[in-house]
Structure 1
Amino acid sequence: MTFPITNIALIIAALSSGLLAGVYFAFSTFVMQSLARLPVDQGIAAMQSINVTIVRSPFIIVFMLAAILSVFVAAMAIIYWRGSVSVMMLAGAALYLVASFLSTIVFNVPLNDALDKVDGHTAEAAQLWTTYLSDWMQWNHVRTVASLLAACAFVRALF
């Protein structure tokens, strides 16, 4: 049994992780593939626009909320250890914090920053775009799976 505040945190963590998994899934399955089909300068310009817009959108609130709640859930799991429930809470928190949140900061954001500095009309841009698409997508797949598994672990901890 968990405390009511912990249950609320788990519900919101599960919903926010699941919502983020859906966003990442969309990028993995059709957004990036669509951008890759555009001429290099247009694909780069579109992704640059997405990168500016996303940090000013509700996405960033959900992204940060999931991280904050994951830290809270992990702390509650350790402080009030409840066997398999705590294991699921810690698993969800670790999956989100390490494989989704940190991988975004360590891998995807630097790729976005590098892309932001390039002029899409140069020869350098074509090479960077090819590398960007491959590397960014690999880490996006990690975020997608991790966020979905985190949501599942949070839900499992509730039951």
Structure 2
Amino acid sequence: MGTGVACIVITIFLLLQWKQPGALYWLVGSLFYLIGTIGVTITCNIPLNDALAIVTPNSSEGATLWGRFLIDWTFWNHVRTTAAIVAAALLTLSLCERTTQ
């Protein structure tokens, strides 16, 4: 969660210091991380995990839920992974822009 807190602090700072080199990359990268990784985890992956945790594993309901779980959870995990990669690339670009100016 430390990265999420850092992204919030960065976003607030950049809204106050918009003319800093790399500000747009910082802002968009932070938002990608906050929404695409933490947001997706909280709103999509955790509820799927919770639903799976309460079902009886050997029941027909468990088998049905597991099949749906694999598809849905894997999709949202791919979204999180993609968002994290994009966020890392944008935050890296922002550092590069700051050092070249």
Q: TM-score, normalised by structure 2?
A: 0.90
What is the CA distance between 1:83 and its match in structure 2?
Answer: 5.8
Aligned counterparts of 2:27 and 2:21: Cα–Cα separation in 1: 10
Q: Hey, what does 1:90 align to over in structure 2?
A: 27
Tell me which residue corresponds to 1:120.
57
Structure 1 distance, partners of 2:73, 2:21, is 35
The 3-state SS of whatever aligns with 2:63 is: helix
1:155 aligns to 2:92 (yes or no) = yes
CA distance in 1: counterparts of 2:61 and 2:21, whole angstroms: 51
Q: 2:83 maps to which residue? A: 146
Structure 1 partner of 2:17:
80
| Aligned-pair Cα RMSD in Å | 1.1
Output the CA distance in 2 between the equivalents of 1:73 and 1:126. 44
Partner of 1:54: none
Partner of 1:137, secondary structure, is: helix
Task: Report runs of 4+ in structure 1 exceeding 4 Å deviation.
Answer: none
Unaligned runs of 5+ in 2: 97-101
Unaligned runs of 5+ in 1: 1-63
The offset of 1:77, in angstroms, is: 1.3
Count of matched residue positions in the alignment of Structure 1 and Structure 2:
96
One-letter identity of the residue aligned with 2:36: A
Q: What letter is aligned with 1:139? A: W
Q: Which residue of 2 aligns with 1:65?
A: 2
Deviations 1:83-136 (A, max 9, x none): 661110111111011111111100000000001101111110110000000000
TM-score (norm 1): 0.58
State the identity as a percent.
Answer: 34
